[in-house]
Chain A
């Protein structure tokens, strides 16, 4: 069974840092592009970042560019999101998602999400 399990969320003060992890199982992790998508409380889905299968290429939403870094360890089947200089508006549930592999981004499946709360 394909499974994605996020961890690392929690309460952090504005300006602080947090690293999220996403443990993958049930598929050949090193063959797939991966994404982070977030959802602020009561709001819609917003794409955050993507990384290609070998980690050599990354992209970010303008709102997080320069503050967040996506990475992966294919030996450990794990995706990461390093979040620095956190702001109140970064408060959200963060989901990792596998890219289905078609031409455009299709997210399937998704992890259960991890909540990040930025507050003093």
Chain B
């Protein structure tokens, strides 16, 4: 199946808010409330930031929030900090095997 569509890059200044989009279809993002977001710093392993569209795992800052409208999910980071600079990936359950698909990733630059 095709990867979910994310912008290649977004940027923001410290203290600002940014939103990263993740667009799929009614067979994945739009059809289920099973979207996750992962943060990956260079040379490091991905880290779960949001699951089931808007749930934050224990230990993840409440500056990170998730939402969904139609076939597009979004990750919002408020009060941007230098340490937020990283790559962000979305993933979703999909009706077709193997039932999981990732987005292409978005590079967040903190100006």
List chain A positions with a Cβ less than 8 A from chain B: 44-47, 50, 59-61, 95, 100, 102-113
Instruction: List residues of chain A with CB within 8 A of the CB of B98.
Output: 47, 50, 59-61
State the CA gap A45–B105 with chains docked (Å).
Answer: 8
Q: Which of B16-24, B43-51, B69-77 contacts A (4 or more CB under 8 A)?
A: B43-51
List 27 interface pairs A-B (beta carbons < 8 Å), by A numbering. A44-B3, A44-B103, A44-B105, A45-B91, A45-B102, A45-B105, A47-B102, A50-B98, A95-B45, A102-B51, A104-B32, A104-B34, A104-B36, A104-B92, A104-B93, A104-B99, A105-B91, A106-B36, A106-B51, A106-B52, A107-B46, A107-B48, A108-B51, A110-B46, A111-B45, A112-B44, A113-B45
Task: State whether A45 touches B38 (Cβ < 8 A).
Answer: yes
Task: State whether B45 touches A105 (Cβ < 8 A).
Answer: no
Minimal beta-carbon separation of B2 from chain A (angstroms): 12
Minimal beta-carbon separation of A49 from chain B (angstroms): 9
Top-9 shortest CB links A-B:
A104-B93, A104-B34, A108-B48, A110-B45, A105-B100, A44-B105, A106-B51, A45-B102, A44-B104
Instruction: List residues of chain B with CB within 8 A of the CB of A107.
Output: 36, 38, 46, 48, 91
Task: State whether B48 touches A100 (Cβ < 8 A).
Answer: yes
Query: Restricting to B40-61, which residues have a CB under 8 Å from any CB of A?
Result: 44-48, 51-52, 57
Task: State whether A47 touches B104 (Cβ < 8 A).
Answer: no
State the CA gap A108–B34 with chains docked (Å).
Answer: 14
The 8 Å CB contact of B102, one of A44, A104, A108, A109, is A44
Question: Which single residue of chain A is at the shortest CB-CB distance from B36?
Answer: A106
Centre residue among B45, B91, B98, B102 by max chain A CB count within 10 A: B45
Instruction: List residues of chain B with CB within 8 A of the CB of A103.
Output: 34, 93
Instruction: List residues of chain A with CB within 8 A of the CB of B38.
Output: 45, 107
State the CA gap A44–B5 with chains docked (Å).
Answer: 12
State the CA gap A112–B46 with chains docked (Å).
Answer: 9
Instruction: List residues of chain B with CB within 8 A of the CB of A61.
Output: 98
Question: Which single residue of chain A is at the shortest CB-CB distance from B3?
Answer: A44
With contacts A44-B103, A105-B99, A107-B36 taken as known, whether A112 is within 8 angstroms of B93 at the C-beta atoms is no
